[in-house]
A and B are shown apart, each in its own frame.
Chain A
Amino acid sequence: MTSSTGKSGPAAGTPKGGPRRGRVRAGGRTGPGGGVRAGARGRRAPVPVPLLVPALIGLAFLVLPLIALLVRTPWSSLPEQLASTEVWQALRLSLVCATAATAVSLVIGVPLAWLLARVDFPGRGLVRALVTLPLVLPPVVGGVALLMALGRNGVVGRWLDSWFGITLPFTTTGVVVAEAFVAMPFLVISVEGTLRAADPRYEEAATTLGASRFTAFRRVTLPLIAPGIAAGAVLAWARALGEFGATITFAGNFPGRTQTMPLAVYLALQSDPAAAIALSLVLLAVSVAVLAGLRDRWMTAT
């Protein structure tokens, strides 16, 4: 049993395996070179089997599909698949829209998070619930709701159209709106949590030095919670990048205009599975790159 624990350590190539392996090695300091076995014995409490087995199944469940994706990738025809303009169009649109949606979320989401964390107003619990709702709402429902609000005949969209000539649905801007709607709650929740954990007395100290509440927020709170904002922004960005349901409902599926990568993948799967795999691989690579790029910053920040 203990040996199987040891085996799972090095076998787990996911980031979670990192700290665990380190601990095993530290525990086995008495027997240098004793490796995994000595380390496993050095640990005081062995992992109980009823926890270990489901844990390993869970790990496999998460990792296996990704491995299968790599196994089935048509590596030989891959360059040619990826060279097509449609792929590049979709990828560029995805990156631009996800980034724009994240920017929108930052501009309006961070102040919202501050309001929820720092200002005690009646109905705060209800507001927090409303903010969190898009997190659990099926994205398709979100898309329908956006159409009802901002569509050509929507509650607000009607006025946008007749007064300003602005049409949101089935445009690239519509993609950004749909993605921001789905992704912003991730940012708000993450930033609000960081704000709650941050010591509000720093803001008090700033006010005793003559800073207005806004100056205190800008010059003290914002730098202090920057790591939390970065983490929330990455979460939101990743969520926006993968957004499917709300986008296709609110913005449609026009190549070059509103067809983002996830939509392209889904469409390709119907006609050309090899292309779908190639596209998926690109998205996977982007996700891994983001995770790897920001992991260090997260670790040192917290």
Chain B
Amino acid sequence: MTDTEKTAGEAAAAPDATAASEATATPKAAAAPGPEAEGLDARLVVDRGDFRLDVALTAAPGDVVALLGPNGAGKTTALRALAGLTPLTSGHLFLDGAEWDGTPPESRPVGVVFQDYLLFPHLTALDNVAFGPRCQGATKAEARARAAVWLERMGLADHAGARPRRLSGGQAQRVALARALATRPRLLLLDEPLAALDARTRLEVRAGLRRHLAAFEAVAVLVTHDPLDAMVLADRLVVIEEGRVVQEGTPGDVARHPRTDYIAHLVGLNLYQGHAEGHTVRLDAGPAITTTEDLSGPAFVAFPPGAVTLYRERPTGSSARNLWRGEVAGLETHGDQIRVDLTGELRLAADLTTLAAAELGLHPGAPVWATVKAAQTHAYPA
């Protein structure tokens, strides 16, 4: 993936997020990063049994990068490798121009917010935050003073003396963030920072975390399987599946142009891969889809489930160019709508109002016709 690509060291310091869909965005890794190369430049290769993680990551100071992917994709392994908790099989890890691979975790300028925070239960919130400065050589009083400033900044001054078990989930998350930031890391790592929270606190904490990440001047990398967290918190997404980067780009870019079923499913799109000839994309397996874009060569086609119209009888007057016959495979409520899974010529998901679903008398096994207007589809080169 990252091969020989000659890039002027200093010019490449700020990787452009939008260029990510091109394969040339990552290979700056091989160019020897001089001491002036700010930010993160890593290629993480970890072999573990029959699983292999091979991910290249670059980020400029101030960037927030989200590693997004399904469970078992290797996101957490990547994070642990960055922190030094899992050794690299090969690859490299430069932070602000210095090589950190092979350095034990305690000597890296890295802060980690763990998934379940791992606040030390026998220490107060203040002493948890003071732990890092203390290990860095500050006196007890200095460390506590610094910790108090961080707690104040997190709005937790009143809870300085509380033990972790007496903190709410949102408070514990902020203490964990303060603890990680109190060591003044050059790389902040967050492992599923919101996963341990219930839906309501999540909203609040997400907004707070976004503020703190925006104010953080060094590189932040967060791992999540929640697309919403990733899109709200990060400037750039790196989607990982089975240990490899399958797509990266800005949140909007990734959401509009998914390149794998996993992302399409996350952002709620029907996604197909095929071969485009003009306004038609002939799918690798299945029928052709008519689109408005004029393309040629390998292409993706995507359309939202809401663009699908279902009929019990073959529609006669419909102007839709895309008409397929299918069978209802399953129904489930999706917000205030009903999501219908269809099998047949084309597997697809369709969203209907509850009323429409009732009028059509849909049930698993019911034969239906599905149409999608060409204007509602979106084709882009694969």
Q: Which residues of A contact B (CB under 8 A)?
A: 199, 201-202, 204-213, 215, 219-220, 223-224
Measured between C-beta atoms, what is the minimum distance from B134 to chain A in Å? 8
Q: Which residues of B contact A (CB under 8 A)?
A: 83-85, 104-108, 110-112, 114, 118, 120-122, 131-132, 135-136, 179-180, 183
Q: Provide the bound-state CA to CA distance between A205 and B107, in Å.
A: 13
Q: Could you tell me if A219 and B131 are in contact, using CB atoms closer than 8 angstroms? A: yes
Q: Determine which residue in B107, B114, B135, B179 has the highest number of CB atoms from chain A within 10 A of its CB, and name it.
A: B135
Q: Could you tell me if A211 and B114 are in contact, using CB atoms closer than 8 angstroms? A: no
Q: Provide the bound-state CA to CA distance between A211 and B180, in Å.
A: 13
Q: Could you tell me if B118 and A199 are in contact, using CB atoms closer than 8 angstroms? A: yes
Measured between C-beta atoms, what is the minimum distance from B199 to chain A in Å? 26
Q: Which residue of chain B lies nearest to A199 when distances are taken between CB atoms in the complex?
A: B118
Q: Which residues of A contact B110 (CB under 8 A)?
A: 208
Q: Provide the bound-state CA to CA distance between A213 and B105, in Å.
A: 10
Instruction: Give 22 pairs: A residue, B residue, CB < 8 Å, sorted on A.
Output: A201-B114, A202-B118, A202-B120, A204-B105, A204-B118, A205-B112, A205-B118, A207-B85, A207-B104, A207-B105, A208-B105, A208-B106, A208-B111, A208-B112, A208-B180, A209-B111, A209-B135, A209-B183, A210-B106, A210-B132, A211-B135, A223-B120
Q: Which residue of chain B lies nearest to A201 when distances are taken between CB atoms in the complex?
A: B118
Q: Which 4 A-B residue pairs are closest in the complex by CB-CB distance? A: A210-B135, A209-B132, A205-B118, A223-B122
Q: Could you tell me if A207 and B106 are in contact, using CB atoms closer than 8 angstroms? A: yes
Q: Which residues of B contact A210 (CB under 8 A)?
A: 106-107, 132, 135-136, 183
Q: Provide the bound-state CA to CA distance between A205 and B121, in Å.
A: 12
Q: Could you tell me if B120 and A220 are in contact, using CB atoms closer than 8 angstroms? A: yes
Given contacts A220-B120, A224-B122, contact A204 B131 (CB under 8 A): no
Q: Provide the bound-state CA to CA distance between A208 and B111, in Å.
A: 6
Q: Which residue of chain A lies nearest to B127 when distances are taken between CB atoms in the complex?
A: A219
Q: Could you tell me if A209 and B122 are in contact, using CB atoms closer than 8 angstroms? A: no
Q: Provide the bound-state CA to CA distance between A205 and B106, in Å.
A: 10
Q: Provide the bound-state CA to CA distance between A215 and B111, in Å.
A: 17
Partner of A209, one of B84, B121, B179: B179
Q: Which residue of chain B lies nearest to A212 when distances are taken between CB atoms in the complex?
A: B106
Q: Provide the bound-state CA to CA distance between A209 and B132, in Å.
A: 5
Beyond known contacts A205-B112, A206-B131, A208-B85: 14 more, CB 8 A cutoff: A202-B120, A204-B118, A205-B120, A208-B84, A209-B135, A209-B179, A209-B183, A210-B106, A211-B131, A211-B135, A212-B106, A212-B135, A219-B131, A223-B122
Partner of B114, one of A205, A207, A224: A205
Q: Which residues of B contact A220 (CB under 8 A)?
A: 120
Q: Which residue of chain B lies nearest to A202 when distances are taken between CB atoms in the complex?
A: B118
